[in-house]
């Protein structure tokens, strides 16, 4: 069964929301809180170690009701069922979408093309576990008999961003191995990483679902050549492993077939850290922590699949985001994590969200006349407060924001934790209430300056307060956003799991590359033609 195809703007709930919006756009959240002492409780979901408060949004119970009806009108429940059961909902590529199966228990049964994929998933997991233990314990050694000290993940996009973000986020849980990431085809990237490495003690993990990606293959080749300056061809087997679906291409590259960790076409690149793409995570924090990450994601999967939509975190967050994107015309959303460990979280989400939902054709192949994918951006708090918060507080744009924080710190310094948390709480309060003219005047501000110190407030936020940053809670958090992506894709009636939009630039780049070597001459617009010649003449 394909995903149901419903134009959201033609549903009864959308019409109700449109009508409701004519008044709701003027809602003042401050008034809503004053009118209802129970508002915060009504719009809070407490689940496991997550406390999700979405009361600081420009919604009423009526808004919420219509948004929930929208989820029903677009048949979200059926769509969730289709995804989890392995139906080929990635229709444009003819594939199932089963990152959820990667974190399902060993007893689960998930059928793809008449075959249960769970045993194969666990076969690879056991291989990851065994390999991780050998490397971490020092039983697996480099070509001169020394244990490994460094691991380099060579990949890009989903084969880089997920593992890089998680390894950074779980630094606290790291073992003695140092993990590096090489992604950009800019030679500076690989060059700077190589400078830090000793070939005798470095393990290279080449991660590419297709094993054809220009950046990854170029970086892998450069590293292989550098490695062979000190080692021999037969030493490659000890130092290079690969994660891919393209086993032939990996073998041709020279990697021993026993060093290949397979993945499957039903794992999308940007949802792949749960597969062997997460090998560098397992190596960095140990297999048990990696397994906890997956366990956390699985718990969120169960919540998403079974929980009533009213109390379903990814569904609620997805619906609220639709409210701003499609009714208030908000273009972007900020994700502000009050944890330095989540430094790369917004960057990671950018691929997940924008590569998935940056689409303008619906599931019938027709152009869309409503807004889809949101722009995502963010930096950790408190640094971001001293960078772009001015615009969120007093700029002209509406920027709904997710605030993510942790009750307990990992470092144990309560003074820092209290200061961090006071900022975390203060910012959403300030965004909600703003500061009135009367308050500014009462502070003794001179009359001429008063207008500049007024804060309009009424800026929407969600607060996602989590007990502690652990592999498990991180797994839940990532899965929460993955499911939010799905919810929004279903509502917008788009295919969230292809990414044809990245192809055109790649194709043209390979044509231009051939021009540099004189193998081809192509037609170009004048601007590109001049730039290309400028490069050829000056390089």
In the complex, least distance from residue 273 CB atom to ligand F6P, rounded to whole angstroms: 10
For the stretch 185-194, contacts whose Cβ atoms lie closer than 8 Å and that sit 24 or more positions apart, written own/partner, are: 185/214, 185/215, 185/218, 185/219, 187/222, 189/219, 190/219, 190/222, 190/223, 193/152, 194/223, 194/226
Options 44, 85, 210, 343; binder of ligand F6P; rule CB under 6 A? 210
Three-state secondary structure string covering 422-452: HHHHHHHHHHHHCECHHHHHHCCCCHHHHHH
Stretch that binds ligand F6P, among 157-165, 185-193, 406-414, 457-465 (CB under 6 A): 157-165
156 in contact with ligand F6P (CB under 6 A): yes
Residue 382 interacts with ligand F6P (CB under 6 A): yes or no:
no
Measured distance CA(439)–CA(216) in Å, rounded: 57
* Minimum CB distance to ligand F6P smaller for 116 or for 245: 245
Q: Which of 191, 160, 175, 484 is nearest to 318 (CA)?
A: 484
Q: How far is the CB of 495 from ligand F6P (least distance, A)?
A: 14
We find the least distance from the C-beta atom of residue 341 to ligand F6P, in angstroms, to be 23
Residue 246 CB, shortest distance to ligand F6P, in Å, is: 8
> What is the DSSP secondary structure assignment for residue 265, as one 8-state letter?
T
* Cβ distance to ligand F6P smaller for residue 276 or 490: 276
Residue 376 in contact with residue 333, Cβ under 8 Å?
Answer: yes
Q: Which is nearer to ligand F6P, 181 or 323 (CB)?
A: 181
Distance CA 166, CA 477 (A): 11
Rounded CA-CA distance 308/72 in Å is: 11
Question: How many residues does this entry show for the chain?
Answer: 539
Q: Residue from 56, 125, 180, 209 that binds ligand F6P (CB under 6 A)?
A: 209
Structure tokens at 382: 């408190």
The angle at the Cα of 74, spanning 358 to 86, to the nearest 5 degrees, equals 75
- Least spacing, CB of residue 185 vs ligand F6P, in Å: 12
If one asks whether residue 162 binds ligand F6P (CB under 6 A), the answer comes out as no
Distance CA 451, CA 101 (A): 55
In the shown chain, the binding pattern of residues 486 to 505 toward ligand F6P, with x for contact by CB under 6 A and - for none, equals -------------x--x---
Specify the DSSP element, H or E, that contains 472.
Answer: helix 471-492
Contacts (CB under 6 A) with ligand F6P, residues 342-361: 355
Nearer to ligand F6P, 301 or 355 (CB): 355
Smallest gap from residue 333 Cβ to ligand F6P (A): 21
Is residue 336 within 8 A of residue 402, CB to CB? The reply is yes
Of 82, 213, 280, 382, which one interacts with ligand F6P (CB under 6 A)?
213
For Cα atoms 157, 485, 489, give the angle at the middle one, nearest 5 degrees.
Answer: 110
Q: Which of residues 270-309 bind ligand F6P (CB under 6 A)?
A: 270
Q: Quote the least distance from Cβ 254 to ligand F6P, whole Å.
A: 18
C-beta neighbour count of 128 within 10 angstroms: 21
> Alpha-carbon distance 339 to 328, whole Å?
30
Report if residue 393 touches ligand F6P, rule: CB under 6 A.
Answer: no
For residues 289 and 170, the answer to whether their CB atoms sit within 8 Å is: yes
Please answer whether residues 392 and 334 qualify as being in contact, where contact means their C-beta atoms are separated by less than 8 angstroms: yes
Residue 153 interacting with ligand F6P (CB under 6 A):
no
Interacting residues of 180 by C-beta distance below 8 A, sequence separation 6+: 150, 151, 152, 153, 193, 196, 197
Q: Which of 86, 158, 314, 405 binds ligand F6P (CB under 6 A)?
A: 158
Q: How far is the CB of 122 from ligand F6P (least distance, A)?
A: 22
CB under 6 A: which stretch of 125-133, 203-211, 379-387, 436-444 binds ligand F6P?
203-211
Q: Which stretch binds ligand F6P (CB under 6 A): 153-161, 306-314, 322-330, 432-440?
A: 153-161
Q: What is the x/- site pattern for ligand F6P, positions 92-131, by CB under 6 A?
A: ----------------------------------------
Residue at token pair 């192509």 = 522
Active site residues: 355, 386, 506
How many whole angstroms separate alpha carbon 223 and alpha carbon 185?
A: 12
Asked if 90 is part of the footprint of ligand F6P (rule: CB under 6 A), the reply reads: no
Stretch that binds ligand F6P, among 75-83, 206-214, 331-339, 357-365 (CB under 6 A): 206-214
Q: Does 216 bind ligand F6P (CB under 6 A)?
A: yes
How many residues make contact with ligand F6P (CB under 6 A)?
A: 14
* 157 belongs to the binding site for ligand F6P (CB under 6 A): yes
Q: What does the alpha-carbon distance between residue 286 and residue 280 come to, in Å, rounded to a whole number?
A: 9
Which of 8, 142, 163, 269: binder of ligand F6P (CB under 6 A)? 269
Cβ proximity to ligand F6P: between 152 and 313 the closer is 152
> In 3-state terms, what secondary structure has residue 142?
coil
Question: Which residues contact ligand F6P by CB under 6 A?
Answer: 156-159, 208-210, 213, 216, 269-270, 355, 499, 502
């Amino acid at each position: 069964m394909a995903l149901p195809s419903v134009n959201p703007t033609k549903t009864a709930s959308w019409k109700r929301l449109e009508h409701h919006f004519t008044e709701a756009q003027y809602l003042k959240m401050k008034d809503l809180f004053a009118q209802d002492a129970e508002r915060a409780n009504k719009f809070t979901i407490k689940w496991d170690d997550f406390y999700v408060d979405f009361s600081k949004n420009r919604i009423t119970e009526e808004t919420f009701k219509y948004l929930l009806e929208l989820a029903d009108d677009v048949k979200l429940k059926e769509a969730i069922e289709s995804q989890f059961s392995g139906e080929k909902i990635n229709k444009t590529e003819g594939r199932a979408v089963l990152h959820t199966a990667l974190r399902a228990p060993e007893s689960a049964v998930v059928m793809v093309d008449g075959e249960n994929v769970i045993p194969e998933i666990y076969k690879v997991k056991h291989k990851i576990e065994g390999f991780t233990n050998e490397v971490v314990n020092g039983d697996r050694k480099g070509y001169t008999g020394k244990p490994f000290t460094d691991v380099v993940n060579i990949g890009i996009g989903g084969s880089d961003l997920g593992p890089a973000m998680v390894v950074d986020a779980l630094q606290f849980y790291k073992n003695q191995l140092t993990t590096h990431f090489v992604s950009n085809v800019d030679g500076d990237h690989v060059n700077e990483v190589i400078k830090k490495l000793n070939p005798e003690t470095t393990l290279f993990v080449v991660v590419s679902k297709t094993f054809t990606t220009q950046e990854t293959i170029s970086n892998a080749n450069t590293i292989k050549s550098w490695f062979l300056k000190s080692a021999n061809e037969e030493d490659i087997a000890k130092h290079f492993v690969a994660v891919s679906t393209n086993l032939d291409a990996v073998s041709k590259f020279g990697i021993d077939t026993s060093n290949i960790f397979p993945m499957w076409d039903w794992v999308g690149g940007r949802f792949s850290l749960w597969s062997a793409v997460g090998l560098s995570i397992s190596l960095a924090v140990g297999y048990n922590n990696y397994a906890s990450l997956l366990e956390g994601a699985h718990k969120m999967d169960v919540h998403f699949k079974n929980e009533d939509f009213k109390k379903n975190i990814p569904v609620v967050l997805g619906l609220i985001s639709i409210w701003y994107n499609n009714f208030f015309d908000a273009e972007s959303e900020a994700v502000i994590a009050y944890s330095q460990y989540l430094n790369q979280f917004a960057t990671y989400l950018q691929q997940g969200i924008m590569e998935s939902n940056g689409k303008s054709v619906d599931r019938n192949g027709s152009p869309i006349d409503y807004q889809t994918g949101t722009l995502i951006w963010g930096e950790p708090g408190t640094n971001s407060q001293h960078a772009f918060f001015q615009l969120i507080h007093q700029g002209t744009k509406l920027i709904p924001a997710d605030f993510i924080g942790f009750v307990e710190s990992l470092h144990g310094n309560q003074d820092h934790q209290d200061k961090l948390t006071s900022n975390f709480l203060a910012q959403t309060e300030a965004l909600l209430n703003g500061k009135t003219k009367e308050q500014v005047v009462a502070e003794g501000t001179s009359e001429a300056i008063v207008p500049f110190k007024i804060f309009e407030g009424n800026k929407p936020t969600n607060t996602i307060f989590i007990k502690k940053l652990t592999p498990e809670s991180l797994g839940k958090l990532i899965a929460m956003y993955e499911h939010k992506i799905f919810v929004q894709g279903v509502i917008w009636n788009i295919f969230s799991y292809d990414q044809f939009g990245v192809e055109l630039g790649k194709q043209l780049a390979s044509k231009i590359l051939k021009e540099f070597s004189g193998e081809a001459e192509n037609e170009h617009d004048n601007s590109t033609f001049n730039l290309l010649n400028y490069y050829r003449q000056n390089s």
